[in-house]
């Protein structure tokens, strides 16, 4: 058995993929802020899981698949979340309800 410190742990230079991930996230979300959040979450998860990555893994494919899965999970959450309606009770827009749910 090889001591843990001598095993080669795969590492990924995330800076190599950030621009491509952002472009893909922008295509999926059509929103700059959401795309930035998707890339950030993808990179965070990649850093956490890097120790489990096999040396022969395709890092680029793994990252892009992760980003896509994060996006799909967010879509599912948004679609199943209850609709929130705010009522304007201060008198500026009496009896007018404002839909605060994001539409994509």
Res 14 pLDDT > 50: yes
Rounded to whole angstroms, the Cα distance separating 67 from 71 reads 6
Per-residue confidence band for 4, with pLDDT thresholds at 50, 70 and 90: very low
Q: Identify the pLDDT of residue 1.
A: 39
pLDDT tens figures, 41-95: 999 999 999 888 888 889 999 999 999 999 999 999 988 878 777 877 766 555 5
DSSP letters for the chain: ---GGGSPPP---GGGTHHHHHHHHHHHHS-HHHHHHHHHHHHHHHHHHGGGS-TT--HHHHHHHHHHHHHHHHHHHHHHSPP-EEE--SSTTTT-EEE-S---
pLDDT tens figures, 30-45: 999 999 999 999 999 9
pTM: 0.68
Asked if 68 and 22 touch (Cβ cutoff 8 Å), the reply is: no
Q: Identify the pLDDT of residue 87.
A: 78
């Amino acid at each position: 058995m090889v001591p843990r410190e001598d095993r080669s742990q795969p590492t990924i230079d995330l800076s190599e993929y950030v621009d491509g991930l952002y472009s893909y996230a922008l295509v999926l979300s059509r929103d700059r802020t959401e795309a930035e959040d998707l890339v950030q979450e993808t990179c965070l998860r990649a850093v956490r899981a890097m120790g489990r990555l096999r040396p022969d893994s395709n890092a680029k494919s793994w990252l892009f698949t992760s980003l896509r899965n994060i996006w799909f999970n967010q879509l599912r959450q948004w679609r199943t979340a209850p609709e929130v309606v705010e009522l304007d009770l201060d008198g500026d827009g009496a009896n007018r309800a404002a839909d605060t749910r994001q539409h994509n």
